Amino acid sequence: MSALYFKYQAFDAQGKMLNGQLSADTEREAVRILKGKNLTPVKIQETREASQTTRRRRISQADVLDFTNGLCTLVEARVPIDRSLRLLEGITESTAMRELMISLLREVKEGRSLAESMEAHPRVFSRMYVNIVRAGEEGGILDQLLPDLAEFLETSAKTRQAIISAMIYP
């Protein structure tokens, strides 16, 4: 089943009305996602497709790093991959990242490995990333490789930022 898009109105914990859009497989799942964010849904309406702003959103390196750190923590705690993806999908702020996690979860539930599922998203997960995950899955050491992968991503982001800063400085 492909993800559907829902427009919603919901109250936050302070009673403030929020409007937004999210992606979920069912309306029931959309309600669960909102409740997971401590929002009280008032109105949920299925829409044909994501709005222009939702479709244009990119998944940043910071999103991938957050995902990797979260997955690392859950895998180290021996939480199964499908449950880990569901938990991470419920707490992520990025709509684009949430849609990606829904896609990964669907593919994992269909019997594909996490690495195979990630391979279908080359703009998000590099070949190196996918191959490290594949090695971890096949060797049963994903819990040992994910911390190193997260550290590598963090170091790469810092290096990239330093290079950009140096290029901007006159």
Domain ranges of the chain: 4-55, 61-165
pTM: 0.65
The HSE-up count of residue 43 (CA atoms within 13 Å, CB side) is: 8
What tens digit of pLDDT does each residue of 135-169 get? 999 999 999 999 999 999 999 999 988 898 888 87
Question: Could you tell me if 52 and 14 are in contact, meaning their C-beta atoms sit under 8 angstroms apart?
Answer: no
Distance CA 29, CA 34 (A): 9
Q: What CATH number has the domain spanning 4-55?
A: 3.10.20
Helix (H, G, I), strand (E, B) or coil at 13: coil
The HSE-up count of residue 33 (CA atoms within 13 Å, CB side) is: 29
Spelled out in words, what is the top-level CATH class assigned to the domain 61-165? mainly alpha
39 pLDDT tier (thresholds 50, 70, 90) = confident
